[in-house]
Amino acid sequence: MRRLIVLALLLGGMSVVSMLGEPGGGSQWLLTFGFLILAAYTSGEIATSLGLPKIIGYLAAGFLFGPRGIDVVTESAAHRLAPVSSLAIALIAFLAGAELRWSEVRTRGGTIARLLSAEIGITFVLLATLTALVGSRLPFIESSGGMGEVIAFSLLFASICVVHSPAVTMALLTETKAGGPIARTTLGVVLVSDIVVVLLFSGALALARSLAPATGLDAVGMSLGMVLWEIGGAVIVGAALGGLVALYLRVLKRELFLFALLMAFLGAILARVLHVETMLTLLAAGFVAENISRWQDGEAFRHAMERAAAPVFVVFFALAGAELAPETIALAWYFVVPVVIVRIVGIRLGTWLGGRWAKAPLEGRYVWMGLVSQAGVAIGLATAVSQAYPVRGAQLKTVFLAVIAINEILGPILFRLALARAGEIVDGPDSGVAPATAQTSAH
Q: How confident is the model at residue 435 (pLDDT cuts 50, 70, 90)?
A: very low
Length of the chain: 443
Domain boundaries, the chain: 2-80, 87-421
Q: How confident is the model at residue 217 (pLDDT cuts 50, 70, 90)?
A: very low
Q: Which of 175, 2, 169 is nearest to 92 (CA)?
A: 169
Q: What is the pLDDT of residue 127?
A: 95
Q: How confident is the model at residue 441 (pLDDT cuts 50, 70, 90)?
A: very low
- What fold is seen in the domain 87-421? Na+/H+ antiporter like fold (1.20.1530)
How do residues 227-241 score in pLDDT, each as one tens digit?
678 778 888 999 999
Q: Residue 442 and residue 219: Cα distance in Å, rounded?
A: 46
Q: How confident is the model at residue 340 (pLDDT cuts 50, 70, 90)?
A: very high
Q: What is the arithmetic mean of pLDDT over 219-230? A: 62
Q: Residue 436 and residue 443: Cα distance in Å, rounded?
A: 17
Distances (CA, A) of 121 to 113, 358, 364, 407: 12, 16, 15, 19
Q: Which of 145, 140, 65, 133 is nearest to 342 (CA)?
A: 133
How do residues 297-333 score in pLDDT, each as one tens digit?
888 888 888 888 888 888 888 888 887 778 777 777 8
Q: Residue 336 and residue 410: Cα distance in Å, rounded?
A: 14
Q: What is the pLDDT of residue 236?
A: 93
Sign of the torsion angle spanned by Cα atoms 238, 244, 245, 250:
positive
How do residues 118-142 score in pLDDT, each as one tens digit?
999 999 999 999 999 987 778 777 6
Q: What is the pLDDT of residue 173?
A: 87
Q: Residue 128 and residue 161: Cα distance in Å, rounded?
A: 9
Distances (CA, A) of 17 to 13, 54, 188, 308, 443: 6, 27, 45, 27, 43
How do residues 401-420 score in pLDDT, each as one tens digit?
888 888 988 999 999 999 99
Q: What is the pLDDT of residue 219?
A: 41
Q: Is the pLDDT of residue 352 over 90?
A: yes
Reported pTM: 0.77
Alpha helices in 163-294 (DSSP H): 166-176, 181-211, 224-228, 234-251, 256-274, 278-292
Q: Is the pLDDT of residue 440 over 90?
A: no
Distances (CA, A) of 142 to 98, 135, 137: 45, 9, 8
Q: Is the pLDDT of residue 369 over 90?
A: yes
Q: Is the pLDDT of residue 223 over 60?
A: no
Provide DSSP, 395-408. Answer: HHHHHHHHHHHHHH
Q: Which residue has the higher pLDDT, 384 or 181?
A: 181
Q: What is the pLDDT of residue 434?
A: 38
Percent of the chain with pLDDT over 90: 22
Instruction: Say which residues have a Cβ less than 8 Å from residue 142's Cβ, sequence separation at least 6.
Output: 136, 149, 392
Sign of the torsion angle spanned by Cα atoms 353, 357, 358, 359:
positive
Contact (CB, 8 A) for 339 and 403: yes
Q: What is the pLDDT of residue 368?
A: 94
